[in-house]
Chain A
Amino acid sequence: MIDPDQLLGVASGLVEQAESNEQIEVACGHGVSTSVRVYGGEVESFTNAESHGVGIRVIRDGREGFASAGTLDSAVLAQTLADARDNATYAEPDPEAGIAEPDGVEAVEIDHWHDDVITMSPQDKIDIAVELERQVLAGDDRISGVRVSSYGDSASGFALASSAGIRASSRGTSASTSVQALADDGDRTQTGGAYDGARRPRDLDVGWVADRAVSRAVDLIGASKPTSRKVSLVLDPHLAATVVGLISGTLTGDRIIKKRSPFVDRVGETIATPALTVIDDPTDPESFGADSFDGEGLACRPNPLIVDGKLTGYLYDAYHGRRAGSGSTGSAVRGTRGLPGPGIQALSVAAGDGGSLDELIAGVDEGVLVFSLAGLHSGVNAVSGDFSVGVEGRRIVDGQLAEPIGECTVGSTLQRLLLDVTAVGSDRTHLPNGVSTPSLVVGDVMLSGAST
């Protein structure tokens, strides 16, 4: 039912309507998805969804226009092409505007399709969420409820064709399950969330998700506001992925060209501790972010960002690569509803020699083992680098886990966080959000809570 060749046919058909003085790029998508929410052992909602999308980019005389629609109906496709052409007439001419030109880089074959997502019965999918909820409720006497237990999956196809001769298509499947556990200590309800994602349902680790949600909620019982002090943050791979992702997001070519990043003009400089090496590598088939082609149909390739603490480069799509003079790094990301732009695909932090999470904790005198960060969209300024986010977790005192803390923040800057990484774990993990990273310890962070 998901047929990338058919999508490519639709995209090519539109591209063939390009006139001699215009460039056209068409992205087509088709997806089916299932979403189950369970509460109290019963299905709360079950959603079957199918969606189509098309996004058309037209460049004429250096002017770019874009239009999109949520259907592949032929009358709508014709109207969308007309809208994109009309939009282009009002844009400002830009000599660098244009679609990606093939650059000869060979694509790596990535196969992320599993029929199970399509063939598995609805009841078996429901059972995953029911079982997850059951395990959480049975996991500890102090668990007072589950806000929601859910299962979701999708199978999708994507095709991209352009008047530069690009023809690329792909398909993939994914499945995920998540839960939010509630623990009540009579005074206050604590929450513990956890999720897992995989390419197919059978690879989901329901037991691990339940254990993590239960322990996170229960371990926070009795959490209190700590006094303000300088601390080291211990980030397990999930939390490290969040922080490294935020920082790497400032290394995309649009932010660099437009001078909207604290790391503009700093290639070659030491911006991080020498123990840190970060590569965006969608060619690693083990990564959940792996892909053959980027959002403009160029082959994905490994792009080192930080090597032994030195900034080595940025991520570019075709347009920003042209402006930088370096060309695309195959880093265009997009859906069908918007224009492509440079972005992270499969971030990878190299493993260090710090050992396991427990060993990292043992090496910290005064710190916080972070369970969750809150307010990432309002507390992180990717231009100035200011970083201030809510935190929940356990205090670490003299290498031992101590009392739970909440209603507090940690503050620093993105620039400082990179330089203040004091240990890199050996526990590199491929996470379902596409990031692969070990645990990290970041020193000299301001924990803000009660005034001393």
Chain B
Amino acid sequence: MSTDTSSQASSDALIDDETIRRVLDAGLASGADFAELFVEDVSRSGVSLDDGRVENLSSSRDIGAGIRVISGETTGFAHTADLSPDRLVAAAQAAADAANSDGGGTVTVELEKVDSAPAPVEVDPSSIDKATKVGLVRRADEVARAHDDAITQVSARYADNRRRILVANSDGVLATDDQTRTNFAVTAVASGDSGLQTGYESVGLSVGFELFDRYDVDELATNAATRAMTKLDARPAPSGTHTVVIGPGSGGVLFHEACGHGLEADLVGKGASAFAGRVGEQVASPLVTLIDDGTMTGEWGNYAVDDEGQPASSNVLIKDGILVDYMWDGNRARKEGRRSSGNGRRQSYRHLPMVRMTNTYLAPGDQTPEEIIAGVDNGVYVAKLGGGQVNTASGDFVFGMTEAYLIEDGQITAPLREGQLIGNGPKVLQQIDAVGNDFEMGPPGTCGKDGQGVPVGDGVPTLRVTELTIGGTAA
């Protein structure tokens, strides 16, 4: 496989400095406190296979700019797909009008380039022949189907995207980033006496086509097929409260939902978080150290600078059970007179930034996974979690278990059908009584908040919760 970084290094500037100044001046002309220009250029390509057929090759290109003007408590926002200087200035005026600023005067903005290096990409996905990408999804289909005659349907999807951004604002920030992400997913359907069951496997990293140096498509397809087959023999999950052991990797979604969202400063500021006003308090078991880290090289939720031009950073949220800090974007940080933690993100130039997680993970502890499972007489082992949802105000959260087993007398036994787990974040954090010495990052995720989706990662070691409610159908 060839290595090519030249096409990224030589890319043109998204917009020139003179235009940036004109736009910011227009945003500030009527006396606003803050103006920001966000420019984005995203290209995507994807190949999907379903029903034994490569059914869709797609590509898309999206270029545009969003202009934000803040006056007092009010944010005005306008966006345009037309990057001509006149259209950008008009959008800046529209944003300033929407911010309802009055007054006037001119402000000269001195732009200072934020020192940040985009993540290196070894193999630019756009340099790879489409036929090679097609070959990957075909291979996944063959391998999953060959796994067992009971595998009756397979879908596979390859996707890559490159996102270049530029952020400039009236505080003098000028920052750029160039983000490449590549991902691959396989779903297998197994058919048996109990009906249809599904198995899913996905991987994704902030890297180029070298993703496939790290992951073997055959293994991914086999994993998906095996999960579907296992569930053909699954029994209904129990209902009621049980001790639950969560396996390494995808269990990170538990923390994402149980407390991650509740530690976002915008929700905290509005009293819509069960963790408001609790910095310095013991909010979790002393075994819990939770970190949000946008600088984990190659991980799905990574970036060099956030969508407000702040460098990504590693932020300890909970240390040995004590709440250390929330996550911040520029807007919330300004209100509190502190620095952003580099968590200001947006789905696209059409959206306003807000506080978002990056890669959220639980630091490993010192017990072996075997010890943790052996300590359970009667419970549930969740090997793979799906998505979840939280009500940050009450702290109640749910997440789906897509691969789970009973634990009987310290042993993992019968597979269980899918079900939801439900808990209350502040309570569950206190009920973690074991954290393993293993650790994995989970599959790539898309986190939704107020209608915006952004890529996030999470990870955990094996951990045990003394009491979670399992939404099964068995009494």
**Within the assembled complex, what's the spacing in Å between the Cα atoms of A71 and B80?**
10
- Our pick among B387, B396, B418 for the contact of A407 (Cβ within 8 Å) is B396
Chain A residues within 8 Å of chain B by Cβ, number: 84
- CB-CB under 8 A from A44, the residues of chain B are 73-75
- Our pick among B51, B197, B471, B472 for the contact of A258 (Cβ within 8 Å) is B51
B153 and A260 within 8 A (CB)? yes
- Our pick among B62, B134, B152 for the contact of A70 (Cβ within 8 Å) is B62
Q: Mark A78-104, 1 if CB is under 8 A from B, else 0.
A: 011001001110111010000000000
The prevalent SS among residues of B at the interface is strand
Tell yes or no: A326 within 8 A of B by CB. Answer: no
- For A389, give the chain B residue with the smallest CB separation: B420
A375 and B77 within 8 A (CB)? no
- For B60, give the chain A residue with the smallest CB separation: A68
A52 and B81 within 8 A (CB)? yes
- For B351, give the chain A residue with the smallest CB separation: A47
- CB-CB under 8 A from B95, the residues of chain A are 48
Tell yes or no: B56 within 8 A of A by CB. Answer: yes
**Within the assembled complex, what's the spacing in Å between the Cα atoms of A383 and B473?**
17
B55 and A92 within 8 A (CB)? yes
Q: How far is the CB of B231 from chain A (nearest CB, A)?
A: 8
Given contacts A87-B58, A383-B197, A407-B424, contact A49 B74 (CB under 8 A): no
Q: Mark A35-64, 1 if CB is under 8 A from B, else 0.
A: 000011011111111111000000000001
Given contacts A70-B81, A407-B422, A411-B473, contact A383 B394 (CB under 8 A): no
- Our pick among B77, B242, B471 for the contact of A411 (Cβ within 8 Å) is B471
**Within the assembled complex, what's the spacing in Å between the Cα atoms of A220 and B432?**
27
- CB-CB under 8 A from B465, the residues of chain A are none
- For B474, give the chain A residue with the smallest CB separation: A446
Chain B residues within 8 Å of chain A by Cβ, number: 83
A147 and B270 within 8 A (CB)? yes
- For A190, give the chain B residue with the smallest CB separation: B394
- CB-CB under 8 A from B78, the residues of chain A are 47-49
- CB-CB under 8 A from B63, the residues of chain A are 70-71
Q: How far is the CB of B77 from chain A (nearest CB, A)?
A: 4
**Within the assembled complex, what's the spacing in Å between the Cα atoms of A39 and B450?**
15
Question: What 7 new A-B contacts, CB under 8 Å, besides A408-B422, A409-B239, A448-B422?
Answer: A71-B81, A188-B394, A374-B422, A378-B400, A388-B419, A412-B473, A450-B240
Q: Could you list 15 A-B pairs, sorted by A, with CB under 8 Å?
A: A48-B78, A51-B350, A52-B81, A66-B57, A70-B81, A79-B61, A147-B267, A188-B394, A191-B272, A258-B51, A374-B396, A374-B422, A384-B197, A392-B396, A448-B239
* B-to-A contact residues, CB < 8 Å: 47, 50-51, 53-64, 72-82, 94-95, 98-100, 130-131, 134, 152-153, 189, 191, 195-198, 231, 237, 239-242, 267, 270-272, 274, 350, 352, 386-389, 391, 393-400, 417-420, 422-424, 450, 469-475
| 9 closest residue pairs by CB, A with B | A409-B471, A378-B400, A448-B239, A451-B240, A375-B398, A87-B57, A378-B387, A390-B398, A379-B420
